[in-house]
Amino acid sequence: MSSNNNPFSPTTLDQINLKNRFVRSATWDGMGFTDGSFSPAQVELYRKLSAGGTGLLTTGYIAVNPQGRRNPEQNLLSSRKDQQSFSKVVEVAKAHDTALLAQLVHCGGLASSSLSRQALVAPSATKHPLFEEEVPQALTKNEIETIITNFGEAAARAREAGCDGVQIHAAHGYLISQFLSPYSNQRTDDYGGSRENRARILLECYSKIREYVGNDFTITIKINGSDYLEDGLECQESLAVAQELAALGLNGVEVSGGTQVSNPLTPVPQAIKAGENELPFAAEIYAFAETLSIPVAAVGGIRSLETVETLLNQGVSLISLCRPLIREPNLVNQWQAGREEPAT
Ligand SMILES: Cc1cc2nc3c(=O)[nH]c(=O)nc-3n(C[C@H](O)[C@H](O)[C@H](O)COP(=O)(O)O)c2cc1C
């Protein structure tokens, strides 16, 4: 990682050359075909994002199997057809010297059983505010093993489609986050209880993906610095998990926070105003940046170039934006050309 803190200067993420420090954080776009494949509208979206100057794009959350899907327009990467449609997105996304990560998810207890027509599954069979009305089934060890393999297979498809890497979605109350969090994991086997046990599925997903894609393919995670829940995952544990993964060869960490039922901070913090209340996850992000030797990306309520500079000066490597790029896909080009106004 270069020591130059200019947000428009090139850097590297593992073996990926990035033209600047800006990242489009994973953003579900609601435009996939209901069979899970990528649509021409998504190809157009990524064409626009790629032309807008952001160095690294992350896809919206892509489910690794149909049971892990939450929305009918959510993409899948579990068949040859999904992969072929994704390769068209990859081709346009990587024009303009832009890199692309595929975000892989299983939504667990937040998936839709009416969509998949399969059981709703989670770490524990607990009726729970996070899971709304339906009580999920607790995953068996064999089922966990299958999901881990599905992460490996989906990553291999992302690689085959020409993507630069994958991001494991371990944040926001989805399956891996449900395992990490004592709030939603009441298991008494090797996948519950101690921090080591709650993190086991994530470490096994990482290792399985590595097995499928080899060493020359980038793997990152998105993780909650904190769940902001009583009995939720807290920063010290989350950071320890990231350190273990970094020791295994993980290439980067995006630090987010919250779940759908957290209070006051959810993953999409509301009413952010430049210069007033940007960066609500700052404390956890700085703790990660200070401790980890692999690149840390900050996400959540970043709106101004002043905040971007502060983050880079504090050792954060990459700057992830979601809503600013929904509103203005050309924002990074404009900032680079001298615009002083923050994101709207
Ligand atoms: C419409 C929308 C879709 C999102 N989809 C995803 C997603 O698929 N995966 C993910 O990790 N986060 C997703 N997020 C969360 C963002 O990546 C980001 O963490 C959050 O919006 C905070 O960043 P921001 O203040 O720049 O918007 C989504 C947010 C929004 C508003």
Domains of the chain: 11-336 (3.20.20.70)
Atom from ligand 1 closest to the CA of residue 172 = 11
Among 23, 25, 56, which residue has the most ligand 1 atoms within 8 Å of its CB, making it the best to mutate?
25
Measured distance between the N- and C-terminal CA atoms of the chain, rounded to whole angstroms: 30
pLDDT at residue number 196:
98
pLDDT in tens, 200-256: 999 999 999 999 999 999 999 999 999 999 999 999 999 999 999 999 999 999 999
Q: In the chain, at which residue ranges do the beta strands (DSSP E only) sit?
A: 11-13, 16-18, 22-24, 56-63, 99-105, 121-122, 137-138, 165-170, 218-224, 252-256, 296-299, 318-321
Atom from ligand 1 closest to the CA of residue 61 = 8
pLDDT in tens, 98-139: 999 999 999 999 999 999 999 999 999 987 777 767 999 999
- 293 vs 156: CA distance, rounded Å: 26
- For residue 168, report the phi and psi dihedrals to the nearest 5 degrees: -80, 125
- Closest among 184, 197, 103, 181 to 141, alpha carbons compared: 197
For residue 334, the CA-to-ligand 1 centroid distance in Å is: 22
Residues 6+ positions from 48 with CB-CB distance below 8 Å: 329
Ligand 1 proximal residues by C-beta, below 6 Å: 25-28, 60-61, 103, 169, 171-172, 222, 256, 267-268, 272, 299-302, 321-324
Atom from ligand 1 closest to the CA of residue 105 = 9
Lowest mean pLDDT, pick from 8-17, 129-138, 213-222, 304-313: 129-138
Q: Give me the residue label for tokens 């776009």.
A: 29
- 258 vs 265: CA distance, rounded Å: 6
Residue 2 pLDDT greater than 80, yes or no: no
Which amino acid does the sequence have at 169? H
Atom from ligand 1 closest to the CA of residue 60 = 8
For residue 2, the CA-to-ligand 1 centroid distance in Å is: 27
pTM, full prediction: 0.98
pLDDT in tens, 159-201: 999 999 999 999 999 999 999 999 999 999 999 999 999 999 9
In Å, what is the CA distance from 131 to each residue of 61, 151, 335?
A: 18, 22, 40
For residue 190, the CA-to-ligand 1 centroid distance in Å is: 31
